[in-house]
Structure 1
Amino acid sequence: MSHLTGITPRSEKNVTMTAAESLDGYRLVDAGDLVINTMWAWMGALGVSKQAGIVSPAYGVYRPRPNAAFCPGFYDYLYRSTPYVMEMTRLSRGIWSSRLRIYPDVFLSMAIPVPPLEEQRAIADYLDRETARIDTLIEEQQRLIEMLQERRASAVRAVLLRGLDSDAPLRASGSELLGSIPSAWNMVPTRHLCTITTGDEDSGNATEDGAYPFFVRGREVLRSNSYAFDGEAVMTPGDGQGGTGKVFHYFDGKFQAHQRVYVFTDFHGIAGRYFYYYLSTFLRPIALAGSNTVTMESLRRPLLAGFRVAVPPLDEQARILGYLDEQNAKIDQLISETERFIKLSQERRAALITAAVTGQIDVREAA
């Protein structure tokens, strides 16, 4: 269930699902029933079902009274509109904001507008058309971001393997996946380029307003009031929520690190930021592709220590870094502008729904 798409059958979800051990307590849902995730209603995780099925005990199921003036499409928009999500948030109960619950007696006490049935249908049809246009536009912009990210990744890979001199003589790298590299470059194991260690803290020791960044096993950077490292470093989690070989950080200064985060420091023969570019680009496709660990659930220090890096002379590294920084800044600017456009489109979508279901616009005139 999503605050954007409403109810989605499990077969259509792009996630790995497993069958429940028991269906005890599951609730039947008919087409036209309103289904609410009890704990996530405050995020808009509810909607009118378009098909029959079952939901887990974490959901509430509400059915319109017989002969009620109830257009499912209208109320699907109404209950997921900003004002009603805010009202459900206000009425939900719980200690933690992320675990607020809305109970049946409270939900059923909420006042809702009941326009004539034909007007409900007209509003639902209008919003179907207009939100579809906005959704198509958002999808196009999201594809543009994906294309820009792919273009950036491709450019980084090319420069890290061939440099900026297209006429430079080449030699075999020794890696089938890497192919050839400039003959003046060396393939050097990571253990000869830097020191590899780990942090010694646990995520539970993070402090919300800490003075120093705290690199943990996910993509999010937390804060800490203490630091164990001071200087230039590259970090990647040995395992965690972000995906093995997918999360990398570069930092220069005082910081803290989780006990399962590898920290690369004391660089010699290679610039720290150059190492960051190379490790984040090639560790997963090269080192992990040749690993005997099928699930790739964790990184081991011997694998990292033996990971070979294509190292240009230091002056050439500096030129490559300047080029990558310039090109990435341009692409990042385009991505940032596109993300702002998507955000504005999503806000316009929400405002349009709110205006239509609360009678602020006459959909007959807008048709």
Structure 2
Amino acid sequence: MAKYQIYQDKAETHNIWIKSIPREWKIVPLKYMCSGFVKDGPHETPKFIDEGIPFLSVDGIQNNKLVFEGCRYISIEDDVRFSLKCKPRKGNILLGKAASVGKVAFVENDNDFNVWSPLAVINPKDIRLGRFIFYCLQSYELQLQCDVFSNSNTQKNLGMTTIDNLSFPYPSINEAEKISDFLDQETAKIDSLIAKQVKLIELLKEKRQAVISHAVTKGLNPNVPMKDSGVEWLGEVPEHWRICRLKHVGYIQSGIAKGKDLTGKTSISVPMLRVANVQDGYLNLDEVHQIDIEPEQLERYLLQNGDVLMNEGGDNDKLGRGAVWRNEIKNCIHQNHVFAIRTTVIEPEWLDILTRASYAKFHFFRQSKQSTNLASISATNIKETPILVPPNNEREQILGYLNRQFNQFSKLENRCYQQVELLKERRTALISAAVTGKIDVRHWQNPNKNKEADTELSA
């Protein structure tokens, strides 16, 4: 922040959230900056339809932007009824007040949509304050307030009165507008750098996928004789490799269905893996749910060391996604949306890597049942997945090669992720400094204005 000017005249605020501000500024509750109280969407669950008025919840905010792709829709009649209480307009700010507390977006245009109760709608009393409020809500100071004041019984929740009374810095409207212009320009630069790192991560993932697919379908020897696999989307494979179906090398165990009534029955509580736990090539065991089952069900659904876990469905990217189970948790079972494949013919790691290859993913997609934004595949169709079986020593060589490649990819990806986190921290720090008066941007000039003027003169 050394390159920026600072305010010479600062004052202590006696506010625990924002301890000092420029002397001409105030600390006020949010409602003082708004036209009326903050409102939220309906608390009822409406009837959703295929086409109609977009209806956003907190998942409709991603990276401080409104995302309408994959959103729900409500009827015009419901929209009219809900609009009597709350209707977002251009210049409003949306704040996540349930589950993902603190998510924030600015309504930039007049698109017709409405919101559900997890979103609060903030209507500034002056349109020039809108972006300033939007940036304040992204600052350390306001995010901390949202976190501290949120109740967390089953999930975090911010009350409407609490939102109305959040402590905000309040400069003059002209100064607030200047700060917003500055942050529009500077955060856009940082966002561009973040986007480049995210793009690089995606390219690395694509390269990883290509390396997997080539190694497990063509092998490591480019001069080996090839043969037609007999599978249209698989093409040629090494001549000496065996081709079979998954059902010939493994047994598929289905998981337990939730919701069985155990009233009056003896039961035990055990950990259970869900779709969310089974990621692409690894397990996320940060949050493993417990389930009550009858004691005799434990043996039937118990996961065994070396089981290859595969997701039955979800979004298309979750279809067939899997990893190898290595007894990370004692007495763990799996739900019916996660298959456990047990094989003694080939290594679990080989089966796992095959299911991550592009040809297998295509098979899963082709054989799946598709509905709106969701897909699922049956155990019967998974059994028909083409399996390539090189000789033992060649499988070992390919797995070793892939592990070395994965280590390199992981190092590069981790560097990108670290850069993204550093840039996000820099972005938040800059916003906090600007909206709380730690830096003085009153004399800042938008460099793009001169460029635009030059363009107009040369036209």
Band of TM-score, shorter chain: 0.7 to 0.9
Q: Does residue 1:275 correspond to 2:351, yes or no?
A: yes
Match of 1:13 among 40, 58, 68: 68
Check 1:83–1:319 CA distance in 2 against 1; reply closer, same or farther (3 A cut).
Answer: same
Check 1:94–1:153 CA distance in 2 against 1; reply closer, same or farther (3 A cut).
Answer: closer
Query: What SS does the aligned partner of 2:217 have?
Result: helix
Give the whole-Å Cα distance in 2 for the aligned partners of 1:332 and 1:183: 32
* Contact persistence 1:199–1:259 (CA under 8 A): yes
Please tell me the root mean square deviation across aligned C-alpha atoms, in Å: 3.0
Q: How far off is 1:121 after superposition?
A: 2.0
Query: What SS does the aligned partner of 1:230 have?
Result: coil
Query: What SS does the aligned partner of 1:13 have?
Result: coil
Match of 1:123 among 158, 162, 179: 179
Aligned to 1:323: 401
Query: What SS does the aligned partner of 2:376 have?
Result: coil
Q: Which amino acid aligns with 2:153?
A: I
What TM-score, normalized to structure 2? 0.68
| Stretch deviating more after TM superposition (217-226 or 176-185) | 217-226
Q: Which amino acid aligns with 2:168?
A: I
Check 1:173–1:347 CA distance in 2 against 1; reply closer, same or farther (3 A cut).
Answer: same
List aligned pairs for 1:192-231, cutoff 5 A: 192-200=248-256, 202=258, 214-218=272-276, 219=278, 220-221=284-285, 222-223=287-288, 228-231=302-305
Q: Which amino acid aligns with 2:343?
A: D
* Contact persistence 1:3–1:43 (CA under 8 A): no
Aligned to 1:159: 215
What TM-score, normalized to structure 1? 0.84
Q: Which amino acid aligns with 1:74?
A: F
Q: How far off is 1:85 after superposition?
A: 2.5
Q: Percent identity?
A: 22
Q: How far off is 1:356 after superposition?
A: 0.7
Check 1:283–1:132 CA distance in 2 against 1; reply closer, same or farther (3 A cut).
Answer: same
Aligned to 2:234: 178
Aligned to 1:256: 333
Aligned to 1:352: 430
Query: What SS does the aligned partner of 2:147 have?
Result: helix
| Stretch deviating more after TM superposition (68-77 or 303-312) | 68-77
| Stretch deviating more after TM superposition (356-365 or 217-226) | 217-226
Q: How far off is 1:89 after superposition?
A: 3.5
Query: What SS does the aligned partner of 2:304 have?
Result: strand
Give the whole-Å Cα distance in 2 for the aligned partners of 1:81 and 1:354: 5
Count of matched residue pairs: 350
* Contact persistence 1:203–1:258 (CA under 8 A): no
Aligned to 1:73: 131
Check 1:83–1:292 CA distance in 2 against 1; reply closer, same or farther (3 A cut).
Answer: closer
Match of 2:114 among 43, 55, 78: 55
Per-residue deviation, residues 300-354 of structure 1 (Å, max 9, x unmatched): 2222222221110011000000101101110111011101110111111111101
Q: How far off is 1:363 after superposition?
A: 1.9
* Contact persistence 2:310–2:338 (CA under 8 A): yes
Aligned to 1:286: 363
Q: How far off is 1:191 after superposition?
A: 1.8
Aligned to 2:264: none
Give the whole-Å Cα distance in 1 for the aligned partners of 2:407 and 2:178: 47
Q: How far off is 1:5 after superposition?
A: 1.9
Q: Does residue 1:245 correspond to 2:319, yes or no?
A: yes
* Contact persistence 1:2–1:44 (CA under 8 A): no
Check 1:191–1:43 CA distance in 2 against 1; reply closer, same or farther (3 A cut).
Answer: same
Aligned to 1:101: 158
Per-residue deviation, residues 125-154 of structure 1 (Å, max 9, x unmatched): 111111001000000000000100101101
Check 1:92–1:298 CA distance in 2 against 1; reply closer, same or farther (3 A cut).
Answer: closer
Give the whole-Å Cα distance in 2 for the aligned partners of 1:188 and 1:72: 62
Q: How far off is 1:179 after superposition?
A: 0.6
